[in-house]
Structure 1
């Protein structure tokens, strides 16, 4: 087991991270928590030197200081985006934000010997919905028939061929506001008559509706897998989580094999898979969030996932 600190990159409102941090504290594992997109403009500092004598550097926060070579593992949880100093505006702030992302972000993604859960570049590669669907097919998952297009005629034809049993899903959960109020874009049924020339503005994802008996979230940490059955009155169970019930569920062997093959392709340590399960017992892959939330699950499963993450971070190196 490698010595050194665990670096947790996340925002200060991330209560999910707190569950794991408490476990690491109980184990007396030193932890440095930092939200680089915010903290590096609020008193924290990051420096790295590269030269003939090697590479060394330091991350300093208001409460901790750690040598970059002494970081055993990095948990990339939910850090804020690099937005630049709030005192700047316009092009200056955009320039500073880009320099921070490529500079500070590059340093924190290049710590030699550190174990990443997950590496931020692997997270990014695995977040593209088209890449997810292509990988799911390669690894023998069932997937719903899907169209991603900005062509309104193609969209109408796709929906019409499914007798109205088609859904719209965003390809990315972009923050969206109406009259200044945040609005979520949920999965919803769509008819061909709803498709307008506005589709041309950007790619839209349309998918055949799976007649499901229930949903399943499969959370994977390293070689450990946790299955949760979700029963909800809503098409999109995330919409009203107070209406859903969650119970443990066994994951079929074939699905398990595909899950681990998928994670290996994207070089992920952690993944949150969503499936729709039909009355006949067929499991349809919907997506894999490489950094999905997990603390909403039943207390015993949440505790097991937290321990699995803490184990990976504590061990460090390359487990």
Structure 2
């Protein structure tokens, strides 16, 4: 895996859970480029082209540059929205739309990239009625139904919420494709940060 490119982490500035995963990746020597899409274009720049091999070009932050053709994975977790406060209302709305289509479109089309999760799939899965309908269709017999649910929305990660009644029956509440999970690691003593880093590194046994 040493010849693979960086992991892109798209998130807001204050995200302690993401910090844990980045620290784990750094400890493995995996290159990471972290940015908030809301920083575009003030401190985040993009130069991209479409070729026969897909998207190429570079994405640059004040301290890092990523080759878009070599991104191994992208961890997408609640970045801030685009903002153009120096523009009037109508022009700002136009700029936000174009930034979403431009930067957002490039980030959603990286060749050979593993998305955790793909931003379009996150959008699909965040509609709670759709999630409940998918859960009902899956039957939610654990653990097979978890995999079926993720497959339904084409997700590779989900934070599932359940309630357990007095009879021990599990009841599905929701699946958050960008949900919190790091707080469970001390409680369960399961290596969740390591597992997420394995996924983003695209580590194989």
User: Shorter chain as normaliser: what TM range?
Assistant: over 0.9
Unaligned segments of structure 1, at least 5 residues: 142-253
Residue 98 of structure 1 aligns to a residue whose secondary structure is: helix
Unaligned segments of structure 2, at least 5 residues: none
1:103 and 2:102 equivalent? yes
User: What residue in structure 2 maps to residue 307 of structure 1?
Assistant: 194
Q: CA deviation at 1:270?
A: 0.6
Give 1:113-262 correspondences, 5 Å limit: 113-141=112-140, 254-262=141-149
Is the CA contact 1:294–1:302 (under 8 Å) kept in the aligned structure 2?
Answer: no
1:74 and 2:90 equivalent? no
CA distance in 1, matches of 2:52, 2:170: 54
User: What residue in structure 1 maps to residue 150 of structure 2?
Assistant: 263
Residue 76 of structure 1 aligns to a residue whose secondary structure is: strand
Is the CA contact 2:135–2:172 (under 8 Å) kept in the aligned structure 1?
Answer: yes
Q: CA deviation at 1:305?
A: 1.3
Cα 1:305–1:122 shift into 2, 3 Å: same
Q: CA deviation at 1:264?
A: 1.1
User: What residue in structure 2 maps to residue 9 of structure 1?
Assistant: 10
Cα 1:279–1:26 shift into 2, 3 Å: same
TM-score (norm 2): 0.92
Q: CA deviation at 1:86?
A: 2.1
TM-score (norm 1): 0.60
CA distance in 1, matches of 2:30, 2:55: 25
Q: Which has the larger radius of gyration?
A: 1
Superposition RMSD in Å: 2.0
